[in-house]
């Protein structure tokens, strides 16, 4: 039986993207990712993660997909690279890595609810799509990123993905970068993404008199919320102090906030914020405030020197 058109299209797009990545054509990759985002969204939304609520992945994909696309543009295309994806759960970016790259993937999570737990362990989780006939059993290492010794020898990886983790840390995030540097081989890469503390979306919330800080999520443990966000200048300094060389560093929005409304997500009643990107930028100009580096997320690609 052949797949329905939209499903066949997503499979074809993934195959096309893999060929483009292996060709090293960055411009073609950029154009295809952003032209075919709906097919990629359909693919990711078709999955169900074991031991997770059925409605978890759909809103996650809607929020994260633009970040995924920008992150994909930063990945090295070489096959056979040893890659560590920290905080891999819920494995949606993992699926893209598996379909689009010929990496040797190692996955890691911290599954404990006690921030002082330094237990080292392993786990397995399953994610499947009936629509696309995919069933992945994913093994991962479990350890505390802040307090544990990472269970890998020096220089184990060509690339470490440290995406959307920094903002969740509680104790002291700065020593982590020394641990990351240790497990990256000389000349290897670290890719960091993290929400931008001074994004225009946060300024819109402040202008509306709403709280910009994340709500507590007791069901997810202490690491289930944003405990401290960073600016581009802060991340640049942290990487410099940790002896990384910056390859790329920028901010970018996930959505066009002149067209997509901003909503509050706090203990107040849910509601739409009555400001667009243009309005917030105009308010900043009135007080001669800088407009640079105001995107939703910070993207940093850094190298461990030889």
Mean pLDDT of 187-213: 96
Element (H, E) at 192: strand 184-195
Task: Tell me how crowded residue 37 is: count the other CB atoms within 10 A of its CB.
Answer: 15
Report CA-CA distances (Å) from 41 to 59, 68, 73, 227, 254.
11, 11, 17, 28, 14
| pLDDT at site 52 | 80
The DSSP secondary-structure symbol of 55 reads T
Identify the pLDDT of residue 1. Answer: 36
- Give the pLDDT of residue 215: 87
Q: Is the pLDDT of residue 163 over 90?
A: yes
pLDDT of 58 strictly over 60: yes
Structure tokens at 25: 């054509």
Asked whether residue 6 carries a pLDDT value surpassing 60, the answer given is: no
Report how many domains make up the chain: 1
Task: Report residue 20 as tokens.
Answer: 């483009």
Q: What are phi and psi of 162, to 5 degrees?
A: -120, 70
Q: Is residue 173 part of a domain?
A: yes
Q: Which SS3 state, helix, strand or coil, does residue 139 take?
A: strand
What was the pLDDT predicted at 2?
42
Report phi then psi at 230, rounded to 5.
Answer: -130, 160
Q: What is the pLDDT of residues 66-100, one digit of tens each?
A: 999 999 999 999 999 999 999 999 999 999 999 99
Is the residue at 55 inside a domain? no
Does 207 reside within a domain?
yes
Is the separation of the CB atoms in 267 and 215 below 8 Å? yes
Tens digit of each residue's pLDDT (9 = 90 or more) over 244-300: 999 999 999 999 999 999 999 889 998 999 999 999 999 999 999 999 999 999 999
Partners of residue 129 on adjacent β-strands: 134
**What's the token pair of residue 303?**
């190298």
As given in the structure block, the two tokens for residue 168 are 């969740």
Q: Answer yes or no: is 155 within a domain.
A: yes
Give percent of the chain above pLDDT 70.
97
Residue 58 placed within a domain: no
pTM: 0.95
- Indicate which CATH number applies to the domain containing 124: 3.40.50.150
Question: What per-residue confidence (pLDDT) applies to 115?
Answer: 85
Find the domain containing 211 and state its range.
66-303
User: What distance in Å separates the CA atoms of residue 143 and residue 80, rounded to the nearest whole number?
Assistant: 25
User: Is residue 274 domain-resident?
Assistant: yes
Query: What is the tens place of the pLDDT at every residue in 98-152?
Result: 999 999 999 999 987 788 899 999 999 999 999 999 999 999 999 999 999 999 9
217, part of any domain: yes
Distances (CA, A) of 283 to 204, 206, 207, 289, 290: 10, 12, 9, 9, 11
pLDDT at 8: 62
Averaged pLDDT for residues 2-22: 81
pLDDT above 80: residue 4:
no
Tens digit of pLDDT for each residue in 35-48?
999 999 999 999 99
Tell me if 279 is assigned to some domain: yes
Residue in 271, 272, 289 with CA at minimum distance from that of residue 280 = 289
Q: Indicate the pLDDT class of residue 195, thresholds 50, 70 and 90.
A: very high
């Amino acid at each position: 039986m052949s797949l329905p058109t939209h499903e066949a299209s997503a499979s074809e797009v993934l195959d096309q993207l893999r060929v483009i990545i292996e060709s090293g054509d960055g411009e073609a990759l950029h154009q295809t990712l952003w032209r075919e985002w709906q097919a990629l969204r359909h693919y990711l939304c078709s999955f169900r993660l074991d031991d997770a609520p059925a409605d978890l992945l759909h809103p996650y994909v809607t929020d994260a997909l633009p970040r995924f696309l920008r992150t994909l543009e930063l990945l090295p295309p070489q096959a056979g690279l040893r890659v560590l994806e920290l905080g891999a759960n819920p494995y949606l970016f993992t699926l893209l890595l598996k379909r689009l790259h010929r990496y040797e993937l190692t996955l890691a999570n911290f599954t404990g609810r006690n921030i002082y737990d330094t237990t080292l362990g392993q786990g397995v989780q399953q994610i499947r799509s009936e629509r696309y006939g995919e069933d992945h059993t994913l093994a991962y290492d479990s350890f505390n990123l802040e307090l544990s010794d990472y269970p890998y020898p020096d220089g184990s990886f060509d690339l470490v993905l440290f995406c959307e983790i920094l903002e969740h840390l509680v104790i002291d995030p700065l020593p982590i970068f020394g641990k990351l540097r240790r497990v990256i081989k000389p000349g290897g890469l670290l890719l960091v993404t993290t929400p931008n503390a001074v994004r225009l979306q946060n300024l819109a919330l402040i202008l509306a008199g709403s709280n910009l800080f994340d709500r507590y999520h007791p069901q997810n443990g202490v690491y289930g919320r944003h405990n401290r966000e960073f600016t581009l200048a802060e991340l640049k300094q942290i990487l410099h102090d940790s002896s990384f060389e910056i390859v790329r560093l920028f901010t970018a929005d996930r959505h066009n906030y002149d067209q997509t409304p901003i909503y509050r997500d706090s203990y107040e009643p849910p509601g739409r914020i009555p400001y667009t990107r243009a309005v917030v930028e105009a308010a900043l100009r009135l007080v001669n405030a800088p407009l640079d580096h105001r995107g939703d997320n910070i993207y940093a690609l850094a190298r461990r020197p030889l």
